[in-house]
Amino acid sequence: MNLEDLQVVLKVAELRSITAAATHLDMSTPRASTALKRVEKALGVELFIRTTRRLCLSSAGERYIPKCEQALLKLDQARQEIGSELAIVDGELRIAAASDVGRNLVRPWLNEFMEIHPEVSVRLNLSDSNVDLFRDSIDIAIRYVRPGSLNDANLYGFKICKVPSLLCASPDYLDTHGIPLHPRDLTAHNGLLHELYDITNDV
């Protein structure tokens, strides 16, 4: 029993005509008649007494129609209330991000976000450690990840931007040790590595 069928039943009860109800609901008369029959079959009773000249409510219909009207009214009220609640964004938003991403990407965006949503309070956790989203009650984490490395079924992630990688060396170092031409050449070089989360790998 679906809502459209119930709406057909109520309109038939109001207009005392399947054809008039179908016209009002912009559907064919056979479709409206089929909807009415589905409801009656689900209930196991006839809601209308049909004759060649008139259509009127049966005793079961007289009891059922008012309750059906009340039920649909409550459903519509609930839909409107939910819609109103969804239009309001409030509460606390907890964001975790790497320190450089937080400074360069998140913080400039926060002022604009909070102007649009003044009812939201934001708690920003800037850290280069791998924060546990569940233990620390984090809503959103902005992380550096390799393609295919997000394999936690409890998390949902998507790419928001590309972050270029930059490898630096002083001219004196390159004069002494040469210029690496391929990432695997780095194994023969000295380096100061900053490990971010757990994404530093051997070449």
pLDDT score of 20: 92
pLDDT score of 198: 52
pLDDT score of 197: 52
pLDDT score of 60: 93
CATH architecture of 3-86: Orthogonal Bundle (1.10)
Alpha carbon distance 156, 151 (integer Å): 9
pLDDT score of 31: 94
Q: What is the DSSP letter of 136?
A: T
pLDDT score of 150: 67
The single-letter code of the amino acid at 145 is V
With a cut of 70, which residues of the chain have pLDDT below it? 84-87, 147-152, 193-203
pLDDT score of 203: 44
Alpha carbon distance 177, 112 (integer Å): 48
The domain ranges of the chain are 3-86
